[in-house]
Homo-oligomer: A and B are copies of this chain.
Amino acid sequence: MKKENVTIYDIAKEANVSPATVSRVLTGNAKVRPQTTRKIVDVIEKYNFRPNSLARSLFHKQSKTIGFILPDINHPFFSTLVQSSEAHALELGYTTFLCNTRNNSENESKYLQSLVEKQVDGIIYLGGRINDTDTDQEYAEEMKTVMERIPVVFVNGQMNGVDAHIVRTDEESGIEKLVELLLNLNHKKIGFLGGKEGISSTDVKRNTFVKMMENKGISVNEDWVLGTGFSIESGEEVAGQLLNLKDRPTAVICANDFVAIGVIKVLTKFGLTVPDDVSVVGFDDIYLAQHFPPGITTVSQNYDHLGQTAINVLVNLINEKEAERETVIPTSLVLRDSCRIFSE
């Protein structure tokens, strides 16, 4: 059923020219007599001919394609970031392969190999193994082998022993803004919920939180530092644990907005009001943060900035130009209605 493929040879024959000339009008890389061009263009349109990009890439040894590896396209953080990055890549002439690993390390490996075989020109790596605080050495080796052939940019991650180019959100300062905000609102009993130990972004956020509190001379109650993951469900879980405590915090910082949503849900169900009884803040500023009642105060990841920078660094690498080893993207505090001043 599939119509036989029309090739540049067919076009050439019908237009009474050589394939090379057809190629020239296709690429626009050499002068062709206007008259000849016309003739060729006509035939091309007649057959709706499209050049085979596989053949083209094979010749050029570059595919004008960028691969994305990410753990979960369903998570707004990733889908938003991908959306920004992809749009920018497209402007720069690159199409993208999206590899959604569904939080599975094996899939990460498979996709990595697949991207190598597909001859992508570069890879943007988000989440997954580059977020483990303790790098698995096997994965690191695999990563290095890939990086010998293909430029890779890590977004919000790193791997011990792997000297990659990194673009990352300034999570430390994001948390600092949140802690300062709560402190200014008179909160002293502050908890940190969500995330997972051993995942670097969680560790960074928690440590920053603890350090800041200590600097202010406020001790952190360890019962209030809980985390089992990054999902809404996980937020519900830790909020449940918190409610079992006699002594509870008056404010909590959540590892991300999903966790904050879960926490707010459970608190509300329990009869507490956010922000009147407990202040809750999140991280990421996913689109839901503004919609989930009462509107979540959070820290924006500045998706466009983050995504575009990642692409720019990668494209520089692809073109063997200079590129910053590490770029830190500033965050911004987004004030909404999920926290308020504490008054006994």
Q: Is the CB of A1 within 8 A of B50?
A: no
Question: In the complex, which of the residues B1, B50, B73 contacts A73, with contact meaning CB atoms closer than 8 Å?
Answer: B73
| Known A54-B58, A74-B80: A293·B291 in contact at CB below 8 Å | no
Q: Is the CB of B74 within 8 A of A117?
A: no
Q: Is the CB of B117 within 8 A of A53?
A: yes
Chain B residues near A102 (CB, 8 Å)? 83, 87
Chain B residues near A320 (CB, 8 Å)? 1-2
How many Å lie between the Cα of A288 and that of B87 in the bound state? 26
Copies in the complex: 2
| Known A74-B80, A79-B79: A53·B119 in contact at CB below 8 Å | yes
Question: In the complex, which of the residues B2, B51, B116 contacts A117, with contact meaning CB atoms closer than 8 Å?
Answer: B51
How many Å lie between the Cα of A148 and that of B3 in the bound state? 7
Question: In the complex, which of the residues B52, B83, B293 contacts A100, with contact meaning CB atoms closer than 8 Å?
Answer: B83
Q: Is the CB of B100 within 8 A of A86?
A: yes
How many Å lie between the Cα of A61 and that of B52 in the bound state? 10
Interface residues in A305-333 (C-beta closer than 8 Å to B): 320
Question: In the complex, which of the residues B54, B148, B268 contacts A118, with contact meaning CB atoms closer than 8 Å?
Answer: B54
Chain B residues near A119 (CB, 8 Å)? 52-54
Question: In the complex, which of the residues B1, B96, B288 contacts A98, with contact meaning CB atoms closer than 8 Å?
Answer: B96
**Contact string against B for A residues 264-281, beta-carbon threshold 8 Å, 1 for contact and 0 otherwise:** 010010000000000000
Interface residues in A145-194 (C-beta closer than 8 Å to B): 145, 148-150
Question: In the complex, which of the residues B61, B145, B261 contacts A48, with contact meaning CB atoms closer than 8 Å?
Answer: B145
- A139 close to chain B: CB less than 8 A: no
How many Å lie between the Cα of A232 and that of B288 in the bound state? 10
Chain B residues near A148 (CB, 8 Å)? 3
Q: Is the CB of B291 within 8 A of A261?
A: yes
How many Å lie between the Cα of A119 and that of B118 in the bound state? 13
Chain B residues near A150 (CB, 8 Å)? 2
Q: How far is the CB of A223 from chain B (nearest CB, A)?
A: 26
Interface residues in A276-314 (C-beta closer than 8 Å to B): 287-288, 291-293
Q: Is the CB of A2 within 8 A of B98?
A: no
- A338 close to chain B: CB less than 8 A: no
Q: How far is the CB of A69 from chain B (nearest CB, A)?
A: 13
How many Å lie between the Cα of A58 and that of B53 in the bound state? 9
Q: Is the CB of B5 within 8 A of A61?
A: yes
Q: Is the CB of A74 within 8 A of B74?
A: no
Interface residues in A84-125 (C-beta closer than 8 Å to B): 86-87, 95-98, 100, 102, 113-114, 116-119
Chain B residues near A82 (CB, 8 Å)? 73, 100
Q: Is the CB of A50 within 8 A of B100?
A: no
Q: Is the CB of B113 within 8 A of A50?
A: yes
- A63 close to chain B: CB less than 8 A: yes
How many Å lie between the Cα of A118 and that of B95 in the bound state? 10
How many Å lie between the Cα of A291 and that of B286 in the bound state? 15
Chain B CB within 10 A, most for which of A53, A98, A116: A98
Chain B residues near A30 (CB, 8 Å)? none
Question: What are 7 A-B interface contacts by the 8 Å CB criterion?
Answer: A50-B116, A53-B114, A53-B117, A54-B54, A73-B82, A83-B100, A97-B97
8 nearest CB pairs, A to B: A53-B117, A98-B98, A50-B116, A54-B58, A74-B79, A50-B117, A48-B145, A54-B54
